[in-house]
Amino acid sequence: MAATRREFGTLVAAAGAAVAMPAVWRSAHGQGAPIRIGTTISKTGALSATKSTLTGLELWRDDVNKAGGLLGRPVELVTYDDQSAVAQIPSLFSKLVDIDKVDVLVSPYGAGLSAPLMPFIKQRDLFTIGMFALAGNDATRHDKFFHSAPWGPDSKINWARGFFDVAKQNGCSRIAVLSADVEFAKTAAGGAEQIAAEYGMTVVYKQSYPPATNDFSSILRNIKAQTPDAVFVCSYPPDSTALVRGLSEVGIGDSVKLFGGAMVGTQYASLLTSLGPALNGIVSFALYAPEPTMANTEMTAFLSRYEKVAAEQGLDPLGFYIPPFAYVAGQLIAAAVTGAGSLDKAAMAKVLHETEVKTIAGPARFNAIGDWTERRVLMVQFRDIKGKDVEQFRQPGRQVILDPPSLRSGELVAPLAKARSS
Amino acid sequence: MILELLANAVSTGVLLGCIYAALALGLAVSFGLLHIPNIAHPVFVVTGAFAATVFNAMGWDPLLVSLPLALVFYGAGIAFFEFYSRIYEKRGEADTMQALTLFFGVSLVIETVLVMKFGADQRSTDVDYVGQSLVLGPVVMPYRLLIPALVAPVMVTALWLYLKFTYAGIAIRAVAHDERALSVSGINPGWIKRHAFGLAAATAAISGAALVIVGPIDPFAGRMQIGRAFAVVILAGMGSIPGTLAAGILIGVTEALVGAFGSPSWAPAVAFTMLLATLAFKPSGLFGASR
């Protein structure tokens, strides 16, 4: 059956429309399609205490979308549970990039989980915000990677430098270094030795111990025998608890002015409330403390909103450590996208390299490999802790900031024995 | 100074060893006597620890509350063994690999349930004696270790007396020795095994309460205990209940001495070195699998 010229014309027009339709639809869809931000969250497994990352990101997403989105497009989070397993990271991030077609990545929590991601983002030239990936980009040196946490430059060595600055100011010259047999702690202990040497301090005792050690009496006795002025401790939550209890049980002598430094766990309400007054005198790191020198209405407002979600979802009730910096990750993305006026990755990176970004954790400037140019890791001394009520940790005067000097809210109370009894 | 360090290392090692024995006691029954490779036992212990924290938050002493909890665990252990028995043993499919897979799966399920119910944060108990120590001359013994450590000799003695002098206890030892012979005697070996598995689970409630007094726990804390618990049971000799206490103390003291005079980093290798040596030179264990 032969088609008439009119029928043939109609057929050609219909075929043309059919061919053009997907492109027209894609174009229209692209204009209002969400900007997709992909990451993995450790919802299960050993790192599941870090799942409050998602809450911080969700609060930022809600704020941005309420204000009209980015580039007139809504923001959407695409997340998967990485089960705290390094082995899950390559496949999940490949899925986020190749199948979910996310526009921006946020790294998984910590340097350990982020390690397998770094070569991938370098190879694919992806714009990525790092979540607590301490020194995560030092080896890869990807120019489109930016840390949300203020570890500062050369963080592998320097992030806990504040402890040694306080030690130096207080005349400490004999240092003991104690670390768990895990990567983060060993890295921190290595950095500590370098800084001690730089400051002319003598490392009189150096010891590592297996993770989850629950009795430190022998170690504390050996430290006591060396009469150090300061004890730099790189511990994880279970051992942080055992160490603090060990101090009460067997003591550490009168020579010690400063004890702590890199004790993971003292940033979370669960450990703070379980140890209560036993924390008095301990010095540890933090990224936020409710001290007058850090007073910031944006941060206070964020924490107030976070606390409500945390109560509903059973998350860390204080949320000082991770959630604000997940929100900061969002703020960095917003600044990059808005500043670039597009999702062009090179333009977004250029914005963050060249301009200061106002965040709820203060102004952020970045060096060539995405470190904050100013280290803002706090060294806080626990004081006046009474009982185990969580509310007291929201009050000023309980985590007194000793370092950095720009945020200092008090001086070190020393020696440790006096600080613990006061 | 060295003598003081030695005395304290030995005392701490004894206390830690008692706690290891308490954690391994249930495994000594389920693995040592029933030959069930219950790698989920440390997770049972952690479940007991979480249960103790719940009641401790209401003002109960964790060890006291663990006694009624042990009854609940006994019932749960019987129910679980019934499931295990119906699915595997009665089909004649209870080979070791399948059992290991089952218990591995069970431990993952329990961990996930604990995370969903309690979150992943560390939990601990609030008892007055934590942070204080008993001082005997140069020896300082933290009550945080001393009081949980006392649990082990009590449990071991009670279980040993039960197995030695009661009808049901003798039947448990008999089922470990020759199940078929027990059937011929007119005793239902299935009931005896259920009862024994229930007892093993009951010890987990008490051991869990002891564990959470020593230090904070999270849903994954059991993973740190699996290897050491098996090492204690094998070093003791399969099924030797008093041997469990001796093996636990031997491992605890050796670990403490290595930690005090060598490097604490070597301490985790102690249990496994002793396990390897036992398997190589005395496979029946120090106490010869006495029944």
- Which tens digit of pLDDT belongs to each residue from A128-153? 999 999 889 999 999 999 999 999 99
CATH (domain of A412) = 3.40.50.2300
> What is the rounded distance in angstroms from the CA atom of residue A297 to the CA atom of residue B25?
55
Selected residue with higher pLDDT from B281 and A176: A176
Q: Is residue A161 part of a domain?
A: yes
The partner residues of A380 in beta bridges, in order of sequence, read: A284, A401
For residue A123, give every residue at least 6 positions away whose Cβ sits within 8 Å of its Cβ, in sequence order, or none.
none
What string of H, E and C letters represents the secondary structure of A196-252? HHHCCCEEEEEEEECCCCCCCHHHHHHHHHCCCCEEEEEECHHHHHHHHHHHHHHCC
How near does any CA of chain A get to the CA of B57, in Å?
A: 11
> What is the rounded distance in angstroms from the CA atom of residue B291 to the CA atom of residue B283?
16
How near does any CA of chain B get to the CA of A306, in Å?
A: 17
Q: Is residue A261 part of a domain?
A: yes
Going by C-alpha positions, the residue among A325, A286, A294, A306 that lies closest to residue A146 is: A325
Dihedral sign computed on CA atoms, order A289, A290, A294, A300: positive
Cα→Cα distances B28→A153, A377, A419, B205, B231, Å: 53, 49, 47, 15, 10
A236 close to B (CB below 8 A):
no
Domain shared by A280 and A413, yes or no? yes
In eight-state DSSP terms, residue A370 is: S
The partner residues of B161 in beta bridges, in order of sequence, read: none
- The rounded Cα A283 to chain-centroid distance in angstroms is 19
The partner residues of A234 in beta bridges, in order of sequence, read: A179, A262
For residue A353, give every residue at least 6 positions away whose Cβ sits within 8 Å of its Cβ, in sequence order, or none.
A143, A366, A368
Domain shared by A186 and A269, yes or no? yes
> What is the rounded distance in angstroms from the CA atom of residue B81 to the CA atom of residue B64?
26
Mean pLDDT, residues B34-54 taken together: 94
> Over the stretch B195-246, which tens digit does the pLDDT of each residue have?
999 999 999 999 999 999 998 888 888 888 888 999 999 999 988 899 999 9
B133 close to A (CB below 8 A):
yes
The partner residues of A75 in beta bridges, in order of sequence, read: A35
Q: How far apart are the first and last CA of chain B?
A: 44
Residues 48..67 of A with a Cβ closer than 8 Å to B: which? 48-49, 51
Domain shared by A123 and A268, yes or no? no
For B198-224, the DSSP string reads HHHHHHHHHHHHHHHHHS-B-TTGGGG
> What is the rounded distance in angstroms from the CA atom of residue A285 to the CA atom of residue A261?
6
Check: CB of residue B206 under 8 Å from CB of residue B70. yes
Q: How many CB atoms lie within 10 A of CB A160?
A: 26
Interface test with chain B among A274, A318, A322, A421, by most B beta carbons within 10 Å: A274
Residues 276..315 of A with a Cβ closer than 8 Å to B: which? 278, 314-315
Supply B209's token pair: 């309460």
Domain shared by A151 and A210, yes or no? no
Nearest CA in chain A to B124: A274
In eight-state DSSP terms, residue A34 is: P
Dihedral sign computed on CA atoms, order B163, B169, B172, B174: positive
Task: Please list every residue in chain A whose beta carbon sits closer than 8 Å to the beta carbon of residue B218.
Answer: 49, 238
Domain shared by A330 and A382, yes or no? no
pLDDT of residue B224: 84
Domain shared by A201 and A278, yes or no? yes
Check: CB of residue A243 under 8 Å from CB of residue A266. no
Backbone phi and psi for residue A288, each to the nearest 5 degrees, phi listed first: -150, 140
Domain shared by A96 and A132, yes or no? yes
Task: Please list every residue in chain B whose beta carbon sits closer than 8 Å to the beta carbon of residue A54.
Answer: none
Supply A370's token pair: 């995405």
The partner residues of A383 in beta bridges, in order of sequence, read: none
Nearest CA in chain B to A248: B131
> What is the rounded distance in angstroms from the CA atom of residue A401 to the CA atom of residue A403?
6
Check: CB of residue B198 under 8 Å from CB of residue B78. yes
Q: Is residue A246 part of a domain?
A: yes
Q: In terms of DSSP bridges, do strands A378-382 and A104-109 run parallel, antiparallel, or are they unpaired?
A: unpaired
Task: Kindly report the pTM of this predicted structure.
Answer: 0.82
Q: How far apart are the first and last CA of chain A?
A: 103
For residue A276, give every residue at least 6 positions away whose Cβ sits within 8 Å of its Cβ, in sequence order, or none.
A385, A386, A387, A388
Domain shared by A400 and A325, yes or no? no
Q: Is residue A5 part of a domain?
A: no
Going by C-alpha positions, the residue among A259, A272, A231, A284 that lies closest to residue A418 is: A259
Q: Is residue A395 part of a domain?
A: yes
Partner residue facing A208 (CB), from B122, B216, B265: B265
In eight-state DSSP terms, residue A373 is: S
A226 close to B (CB below 8 A):
no
The answer to whether A209 contacts B265, with C-beta atoms less than 8 Å apart, is yes
For residue A151, give every residue at least 6 positions away whose Cβ sits within 8 Å of its Cβ, in sequence order, or none.
A134, A135, A158, A159, A371, A372, A375, A377
pLDDT of residue A48: 78
What string of H, E and C letters represents the secondary structure of B233-290? HHHHCCCCHHHHHHHHHHHHHHHHHHHHHCCHHHHHHHHHHHHHHHHHHCCCCCCCCC
Q: How many CB atoms lie within 10 A of CB B61?
A: 16
> What is the rounded distance in angstroms from the CA atom of residue A379 to the CA atom of residue A403?
5
Task: Please list every residue in chain B whose beta carbon sits closer than 8 Å to the beta carbon of residue A249.
Answer: 131-133, 140, 142, 144
- Written as one letter, the residue type at A222 is N
For residue B175, give every residue at least 6 positions away whose Cβ sits within 8 Å of its Cβ, in sequence order, or none.
B33, B34, B182, B189, B192, B193, B196
Nearest CA in chain A to B258: A218
The low-confidence residues of chain A, meaning pLDDT below 70, are 1-31, 422
For residue B93, give every residue at least 6 positions away whose Cβ sits within 8 Å of its Cβ, in sequence order, or none.
none
How near does any CA of chain B get to the CA of A222, in Å?
A: 8
Q: Where are the alpha helices (DSSP H) in A291-370?
A: 297-313, 323-340, 345-354
Q: What CATH class is the domain B2-281?
A: mainly alpha
Domain shared by A258 and A203, yes or no? yes
Q: Is residue A22 part of a domain?
A: no
Q: Is residue A371 part of a domain?
A: no
Backbone phi and psi for residue A353, each to the nearest 5 degrees, phi listed first: -70, -30
Most confident of A88-102, B108-122, B263-277: A88-102
How near does any CA of chain B get to the CA of A254, in Å?
A: 17
Does ipTM exceed 0.85? Answer: no
Partner residue facing B130 (CB), from A222, A245, A314: A245
Cα→Cα distances A355→A104, A132, A311, B91, B271, Å: 19, 22, 37, 70, 56
For residue B27, give every residue at least 6 positions away whose Cβ sits within 8 Å of its Cβ, in sequence order, or none.
B38, B41, B200, B229, B230, B232, B233
The boundaries of the domain holding residue A271 are 157-293+378-421
pLDDT of residue A80: 96
pLDDT of residue B47: 97
What total number of domains does chain A contain? 2
Partner residue facing A238 (CB), from B4, B215, B256: B215
User: What is the CB-side half-sphere exposure of residue A1 using CA atoms within 13 A?
Assistant: 3
pLDDT of residue A13: 57
- The rounded Cα A412 to chain-centroid distance in angstroms is 26
Residue identified by tokens 């006096």 is A418
Domain shared by A259 and A193, yes or no? yes
**Distant-in-sequence contacts of B58-61, Cβ < 8 A, 24+ apart:** B61/B127
Domain shared by A282 and A175, yes or no? yes
Nearest CA in chain B to A178: B264
Backbone phi and psi for residue A137, each to the nearest 5 degrees, phi listed first: -105, 10
Q: Could you tell me how many CB contacts below 8 A there are between chain A and chain B?
A: 109
B268 close to A (CB below 8 A):
yes
Going by C-alpha positions, the residue among A351, A330, A349, A342 that lies closest to residue A121 is: A349
The answer to whether A245 contacts B256, with C-beta atoms less than 8 Å apart, is no
Domain shared by A103 and A58, yes or no? yes
pLDDT of residue B291: 45
Going by C-alpha positions, the residue among A32, A88, A43 that lies closest to residue A65 is: A32
Backbone phi and psi for residue B34, each to the nearest 5 degrees, phi listed first: -95, -10
Average pLDDT, chain B: 89
Residue identified by tokens 């496994």 is B272
Decide: residue B24, CB within 10 A, 0-12 exposed, 13-18 middle, 19+ buried.
Answer: buried
Q: Is residue A412 part of a domain?
A: yes
Q: In terms of DSSP bridges, do strands A378-382 and A399-403 run parallel, antiparallel, or are they unpaired?
A: antiparallel
pLDDT of residue A295: 86
